Structure 1
Amino acid sequence: MRTYELVDRLPPKRFTRRQRLLLVYAVGLITIILTYTLLYNAGMRYFEGDQQSVFHSAQIVVETMTTTGYGSDSPWSTPVMNTMMITMQVTGVVIGFVTLRVLVIPLFERTPLNLDDRLSAKNDHVVLAEYQRNTEVVLDELEELGVQYVLLESEEDEAKRLSDDGYQTIHGDPEDRDDLNRATIERAKLLITDAGDRTASIVLTALEANEELNVVSFTASTRRKAALKEVGVDRSVAPHALIGQQLAEKATTPIAIEANVENDAIGVREILVRHDSPLHGVRIDESPVPEHPNLTLVAGWFDGELRLSPAPEDRLTSNTVLLVAGPVSEITALAREIAGLREPGDTAHSNVIIAGLGEGGSAAAERLTADTAVTTIDDDPDTNPDIVGDTTEPETLRAAGIEEATALLVTVDDDSSALMTVAMARSLSAEVELLVRITDAEKTSAAVRAGADYTLSVQRVCARLVAAEIHGERVISPVNQIRLVRASGASFAGEQLAAIRQDPNRDWTVVGVARAGEVLTDESTWVRPEDEVFVAGSDDAIQKFERTADLS
């Protein structure tokens, strides 16, 4: 008896919203068909003089509403029946759209989507087993290079979104052997992991399936490198520490080299594209630098990467530093002539402030030379900074000596604080060079607008490192200095500067020719045996050149 009483007290089972919608749809559809059937049957009897069964009328109604035909009753002779038929046709079209929305589309939306079916055939590809940064940045880099890849994403919605956007992405657990097999890990050549504490498990599982895999792992701290090496990681990268080192190197190793001739000095100098430059977004081949008759574009810094002989289609962003070779007076004149450009300091910074003493700031402090005066700022006293305080406050920056500093390295943990620190520092000193680490690649332009002279994005640098690792290339850092050497013209006698500079087999370039106390840099110049030539390139390139060339 109690059982029945309990059941009676339970609330009645309610329909779901979709079930109620389907019920209303079915009742409405049946009601419309029955109503039209009765009206059609009566109309045929009274207006057309055709006595027919209700079932035949129902057939005609359904045929009309579904636009499949009209049977033997057409045509109709009276206006009333023709109007009724038009009404039924329009109603059928409306019901067709409602059917799609209520039944057909939801049915397909609820059908499980197998993202694996969207993958193209893969061999010697890259498997990205989780990527915790801006995924599109690294995938766009791979797409641009034409590299085959599969991203194994553990978040289902994110995997579907990326797959819908055209990326080669599947949903799965990177620690699961079966899911790695779905990414054809056994045929892959490189595994990229960025999974925090799950990295060791992912790497060990992947190496069980493919012992020949090369493994690159991004890690939050350099302290984990030894442990990751033990589990099979070939190269581990701590992005924040890496960028801290690069910012320190950029601050202490500016490129400004010269070789004196009789009337002028020829050299390689940096020209920084500032945020207010009219060259922002301009292709290199459309800028005035390569068209200058006496100057040569040797290389350029693009998002922390030094590219020798930049491609003509590369675009100048507000974070680009161009390395221009030629007569120093011409370089200076060009930099002053173009609004929004300025030359960075010719000497290494001697008084540097580091804002943020985390992984990146500590790495930057360690990389700065011993003769550099360094002042550190952090709001956490446990990091033992010189100044404890908020880097976004003017009092903190003044206490660190912002007015006397030659450079400020901003390596705080979040982009909002970094942008505010940049803006505050620029308001306090117009001369200090601001070198900034940004996490989100989209914030780079904002940092430059705030006053930064040079920024590195964690996302962009990681993407470039992935691309360089895939191609077996070594990303050139500021430590790999550009060198300028003299050589005898006998090695190039009879060659034109344009042909020498455009030779794809040479990873160095001839800046100019010294002849009778003058420096000739025009591409139409022909080299004579008695000339001296100036050759510029990276350390490695110049060393190779020196082994084969006749130096003067």
Structure 2
Amino acid sequence: MRRPFNRLFLLLGFLIVTLILAATAYMLGMRHLEGQERDFWTSLEWAAETLTTTGYGNDSHWNHPLMVVLVICLQFFGLMVTLSVVPVVLIPWFESRFEARLTQTLPDLEDFVLIYRWGPAVSSLVRDMARQKIPAVILEENESRARWLRDRGHEVAYVSLEEGQLDLGGIERARAIIANGEDHDNAAVIAMARQRGFEGSIYALVDTPKHRRPILLSGADAVYSPMHSLAAGLAAKASDRIAPRVSGIQMLGADIELAELRIGADSEVAGKTLADLHLRSETGATIVGQWVGGEFRGQPSPQTVIEPGAIVVAIGREQSLAKLGELATPLDRSGPLLVIGYGEIGQKLTEMLESVGETVKVLARDPHERLDVCGDALDPQVLEQADIRSARAVILTVSADSTTLFASTIIRDMAPDLPLIAAVDRAENIQRVHRAGADFALSISQVTAQLLGHKLFGEHFIAIEPRMRVFEASAKGLSGLSLANARIAERTGCSVVAIERDGRVLTDIGPTLSFQVEDALFLCGSGEAMNRFFGLFPGARPE
């Protein structure tokens, strides 16, 4: 707010000094070059007329060449000053005078969340809170950003820690504080809030994990690193050792396997429903979900459409999955995971993957002793050098979203069936990265929104990706019913993937197969689907 006034004061000082110097030069020039005496005030009047380009009174002609050059220089100098004053000084000054002022105090709201500093890490969380009618107040130190936020309907308070303009009056009405500034500023804001008696939850987002303990000592309840949270999310997408797509398969025995297959646009199953395909009766494999646009869609019903380009997740015996593989392209589970980019995210991602026994190959532009290949990921020859086609999956962790978009296009062209995972800075670029060819894309704001949303509002507040699980149930209450008559998938969202009968595990289950009272059923579904199943068939719960 003070900057336009500072410019105005500097302009006034500059003009006064310029006028005095020009008047003095003119007075001396007239005396020594033209042989005519001019007093200071007459010279000052001439200087003002010249610099403002308003014209002359008595003095309008000079004889000495140096005097003529002096006058010409001052005329052009005055013209340049006049043209510069309007955009540089006067317009910002008028804007500051007539533009609506930014408030520097907290608004009169109840049960709001106070967010210190706007950024990608909190953007998705703020949008989710708006949908849930939970007010958010943003403390912002950047004036242009504060105005930008206010113009988009956010509650904003323009503050400055360095100038002591942070007023936390009314902070006791907040339900929580999220500190998203520089680490040292976060500590200062947290300490000030605690000094004012704020007893609610305070969460801090840090750039450097080593600052976690000092910020906790400042009064934060929890400290998170968005970069490391994003790395953990990417690791979970890349490795089923960290977050298996479907858990509990081991209870079905050694013969049952899980497979992921890509549905090509030209595949005969693309665009058709499960009811039309009869995949279970034709192949013996069970489709338990599919990845579409980075989202895992579980609990398929007979009307579920197999999307072109999707990655389907199936359970069955080896020969059943092989039959299904004739209709789709099985994803290779051998080979290393290729990490492209070795910044903060890439380093933490590599560390996480190697800690669970994954083989990781790293490609980056800047030299580092850990790199397997050093070069530009946008160069196909460098990707060939990294043997990209033998990789199990590629994870992009480059710094710029534009680079991620272009790299995704190049990699998808070189390896059409290779799973591609991408880290994205801005959440609005996720769909663009998917269209460029990425199977999965995560942004810092997504991961942070899930983490903080869970902490602040509980799991119901955020859309947590449903993890599928295989669980065992008894056939009590289902005896005599066929799979078609029981309509388990339609009523509960669970799929019957196997039946244990007389010591044998049956996976080739048709709609006419009837349940027997001694059968042990193995079903696949989310936690909510499992609860619905046992709620509908309480006698099926194992003893």
Q: Which band: TM-score by shorter chain?
A: 0.5 to 0.7
Bigger shift: 531-540 or 224-233? 531-540
Measured in 2, the distance between the counterparts of 1:334 and 1:141 equals 39
Q: TM-score when scaled to structure 1?
A: 0.61
Matched, 1:419 2:405: yes
Distance change >3 Å, CA 488–CA 162, structure 1 → 2: same
User: Of the candidates 146, 151, 168, which is equivalent to residue 164 of structure 1?
Assistant: 151
Letter in 2 for 1:430: P
In structure 2, the partner of 1:181 is 168
Q: Percent identity?
A: 22
In structure 2, the partner of 1:252 is 239
| Equivalent pairs, count | 438
How is 1:210-359 mapped onto 2 (pairs within 5 angstroms)?
Answer: 210-253=197-240, 255=245, 288=273, 345=331, 347=333, 349-359=334-344
Q: Is the contact between residue 128 and residue 191 of structure 1 (CA under 8 Å) also seen in structure 2?
A: yes
Distance change >3 Å, CA 336–CA 458, structure 1 → 2: farther
Matched, 1:110 2:110: no
SS at match of 1:385: coil
User: Of the candidates 354, 372, 375, which is equivalent to residue 386 of structure 1?
Assistant: 372
Measured in 1, the distance between the counterparts of 2:222 and 2:509 equals 46
Distance change >3 Å, CA 180–CA 469, structure 1 → 2: farther
Letter in 1 for 2:48: P
Distance change >3 Å, CA 186–CA 156, structure 1 → 2: same
Distance change >3 Å, CA 398–CA 500, structure 1 → 2: closer
User: Of the candidates 348, 371, 377, which is equivalent to residue 363 of structure 1?
Assistant: 348
Point out where structure 2 has 5 or more consecutive residues left out of the alignment.
1-37, 53-93, 281-285
Point out where structure 1 has 5 or more consecutive residues left out of the alignment.
16-105, 281-285
Q: Is the contact between residue 256 and residue 269 of structure 1 (CA under 8 Å) also seen in structure 2?
A: no
How far has the Cα of 1:160 moved from its partner? 3.0
Q: Is the contact between residue 420 and residue 440 of structure 2 (CA under 8 Å) also seen in structure 1?
A: yes
SS at match of 1:147: coil
Measured in 1, the distance between the counterparts of 2:200 and 2:450 equals 20
How far has the Cα of 1:361 moved from its partner? 0.9
Measured in 2, the distance between the counterparts of 1:109 and 1:471 equals 42
SS at match of 2:48: coil
SS at match of 1:403: helix
In structure 2, the partner of 1:45 is none
Q: Is the contact between residue 488 and residue 494 of structure 2 (CA under 8 Å) also seen in structure 1?
A: no
Q: Is the contact between residue 246 and residue 468 of structure 2 (CA under 8 Å) also seen in structure 1?
A: no
Distance change >3 Å, CA 499–CA 448, structure 1 → 2: closer
Q: Is the contact between residue 196 and residue 220 of structure 1 (CA under 8 Å) also seen in structure 2?
A: yes
In structure 2, the partner of 1:395 is 381
How far has the Cα of 1:12 moved from its partner? 5.8
Measured in 2, the distance between the counterparts of 1:273 and 1:177 equals 59
Distance change >3 Å, CA 260–CA 245, structure 1 → 2: closer
Distance change >3 Å, CA 218–CA 289, structure 1 → 2: farther
Bigger shift: 360-369 or 421-430? 421-430
Measured in 2, the distance between the counterparts of 1:161 and 1:276 equals 46
Residue-by-residue CA offset, 1:325-376 (whole Å, 9 max, x unaligned): 8999999999998xxxx677374x5312211111111111111246433221
How is 1:434-449 mapped onto 2 (pairs within 5 angstroms)?
Answer: 434-449=420-435
Distance change >3 Å, CA 361–CA 518, structure 1 → 2: closer
Q: Is the contact between residue 152 and residue 172 of structure 1 (CA under 8 Å) also seen in structure 2?
A: yes
SS at match of 2:476: helix
Distance change >3 Å, CA 436–CA 399, structure 1 → 2: same
Letter in 1 for 2:382: T
Q: Is the contact between residue 513 and residue 533 of structure 1 (CA under 8 Å) also seen in structure 2?
A: yes
Matched, 1:536 2:524: yes
Q: Is the contact between residue 327 and residue 519 of structure 1 (CA under 8 Å) also seen in structure 2?
A: no
Measured in 2, the distance between the counterparts of 1:175 and 1:210 equals 22
Q: Is the contact between residue 112 and residue 135 of structure 2 (CA under 8 Å) also seen in structure 1?
A: yes
In structure 1, the partner of 2:41 is 4
How far has the Cα of 1:520 moved from its partner? 6.6
Q: Is the contact between residue 338 and residue 362 of structure 2 (CA under 8 Å) also seen in structure 1?
A: yes
Matched, 1:456 2:446: no
How far has the Cα of 1:245 moved from its partner? 2.8
In structure 2, the partner of 1:92 is none
SS at match of 1:417: helix
Distance change >3 Å, CA 405–CA 299, structure 1 → 2: closer
User: Of the candidates 111, 122, 125, which is equivalent to residue 138 of structure 1?
Assistant: 125
SS at match of 1:123: coil
Measured in 2, the distance between the counterparts of 1:332 and 1:434 equals 23
Q: Is the contact between residue 422 and residue 438 of structure 2 (CA under 8 Å) also seen in structure 1?
A: yes
Distance change >3 Å, CA 327–CA 169, structure 1 → 2: farther
In structure 1, the partner of 2:30 is none
Q: TM-score when scaled to structure 2?
A: 0.62
How far has the Cα of 1:129 moved from its partner? 0.9
Letter in 2 for 1:187: R
How far has the Cα of 1:170 moved from its partner? 3.3
Measured in 1, the distance between the counterparts of 2:214 and 2:297 equals 33
Distance change >3 Å, CA 274–CA 460, structure 1 → 2: farther
How far has the Cα of 1:519 moved from its partner? 6.9
Letter in 2 for 1:11: A
SS at match of 1:432: coil
SS at match of 1:392: coil
Distance change >3 Å, CA 525–CA 214, structure 1 → 2: farther
Distance change >3 Å, CA 294–CA 400, structure 1 → 2: closer
SS at match of 1:368: helix
